[in-house]
Amino acid sequence: MTDYEIGSGELSLAVIKTIIEENKTIKLSALSIERIEKCRTYLDNKLSNHDGPIYGINTGFGSLQNVKVDSENLTQLQHNLLLSHACGTGMEVPKPIVKLMLLLKIQSLSYGHSAVALTTVQRLVDFYNHNILPVIYTQGSLGASGDLAPLAHLALPLIGEGEVWYNDQRITATELNQNLGWQALTLQSKEGLALINGTQFMSAYGTFCLLKAQKLAAWADVVAAISVDAFDCRIDPFLDLSHLIRPHQGQITTAANINTWLAGSELIKREGKQTQDPYSFRCVPQVHGASKDSINYIQSVFETEMNAVTDNPNVFPDEDLIISAGNFHGQPLALTLDFLCMALAELGSISERRTFQLISGSRGLPPFLVKNAGLNSGLMITQYTAASIASENKQLCTPASVDSIVSSNGQEDHVSMGANAATKCLRVCDNLERIIAIELLTACQALDLRRPEKSSPKIEQLVADYRKVVSFNEADRLLAKDIQASIEFIAKTSL
């Protein structure tokens, strides 16, 4: 297993996916080490020759910006900052997202504009490589002074405070240091602020959701293709000519995907089909394609952010400048996280409509896709479940980014609410997986009711694999187990 060198190149969604899938460890590149040390040395020299106030370095924070702090208290100032800002509450942040927060924070600090000590960044690298995951909570960030509360919880264990997950056990930072023979760090001037200013909570959630969104967008096409055949639809809406004269890339790609999955199908070639199919089948390229194009745009925003410096103030050794600005403001992420909610919710909305059509008792399929309907309710209530989840997603699409609330005595008077956008986006993402799983369950049941006619070789193979975990529904049974097995099948199966 090779290390990934922080600073050896830009992070991207593809690079992060490789790091995760190959369980790579990370290390700082020589260039990153040089930049970090140069910036720290510059700040130390600056403070020894400069007695004036520099925000967050020898002053208080937020509306306390005008309170000068004596040089002998600068270390205590940073220690107090982490303790006072660790005000998270609610549910715990999922562990994979915490690990992404570590990676993205290390990346941001590696550019040498944050004035952290090399020992601090290296300890974060050690956390990542040893799978030491600080306990962080989902609520507490306004997404505008950075993710202050979540990042304070991320940084607490560095100074021997807070809790972590290590070896599947939740322990205190003190116990961690005892187990590993480590000493808690003593933060120098500016370091605490560099650690808690930043957008890594929002960025980690967005990165996690985007990776899952890409997979689910592919699954949405596959399951739609099964539904198209199961519902005895026409191939016409997926022929390339119509899409080339309205050349949105996502639309073209989706139509090509459906064609590829249906290639060689007996069912798609059947005679006597209806002249047109419902929109939820006929407009798959247009609807799925629009979501794909949206995901691609959102990815570009997050890839910019994951390669950015987002703390404050920013330190520029070569220019002899320390600039207090607003790179921690999460507006670019808040807007796109809301956008991602909508793009994913629409994939779920059209999927639920196909499920509804499949159980409707039309086109030669029995009502609710079960033999002896009446005695058996079949898949009637699975569609209720999909409808419930699709409706919840619509409610979660109310944008967080248009909201704001004043904090810090009016100093922070416009905030992004990107953290709320991030946590609800994950809920939408997980909900989409459940809706697609229900369509998969439904479409495979309908397809089997078309026997002996077959779909394409690719679809038949996928359905055969699926039938190893969810069997054909002969009569009423506990469907919650089938839905859960379908969700797990999607999660574990690579297309």
Q: How do residues 177-202 score in pLDDT, each as one tens digit?
A: 999 999 999 999 889 999 999 999 99
pLDDT-derived band of residue 51, with 50, 70 and 90 as boundaries? confident
Tokens of 385: 């479940």
- What's the pLDDT at 408? 76
Among residues 4, 42, 55, 205, the one annotated as catalytic is 55
What confidence tier does 354 reach under pLDDT thresholds 50, 70, 90? very high
Tell me: pLDDT of 290 over 70: yes
Tell me: the pLDDT tens digits for 109-166?
Answer: 999 999 999 999 999 999 999 999 999 999 999 998 889 999 999 999 999 999 999 9
Minimum mean pLDDT range among 61-65, 330-334, 341-345, 479-483? 61-65
Among 58-72, 120-134, 297-311, 479-493, where is mean pLDDT lowest?
58-72
Average pLDDT over residues 409-428: 90
Average confidence (pLDDT) over 393-417: 88
- Please state the rounded mean pLDDT for residues 312-322: 94
Q: Please, are residues 38 and 47 in contact by the beta-carbon 8 Å criterion? A: no
Residue 316 φ/ψ, nearest 5 degrees: -125, 90
Q: Spell 91-106 as b/e; 16+ CB within 10 A means b.
A: ebbbeebbbbbbbbbb
Could you give all domains of the chain from N- to C-terminal order, each with its CATH number? 4-198 (1.10.275.10), 205-492 (1.20.200.10)
pLDDT, position 296: 98
Confidence check: pLDDT of 374 > 90? no
Exposure of 392 in the CB half-sphere (CA atoms within 13 A):
17
Gap between the Cα atoms of 314 and 323, Å rounded: 5
Nearest to 87 by CA among 198, 196, 208: 196
Is 55 annotated in the active site?
yes
Residue 65 has pLDDT above 60, yes or no: no
pLDDT score of 213: 98
Tell me the two tokens of residue 488.
Answer: 């797990």
CA-wise closest residue to 189 among 109, 81, 317? 81
pLDDT tens track for 204-240: 999 999 999 999 999 999 999 999 999 999 999 999 9
Whether the predicted pLDDT of 62 surpasses 80: no
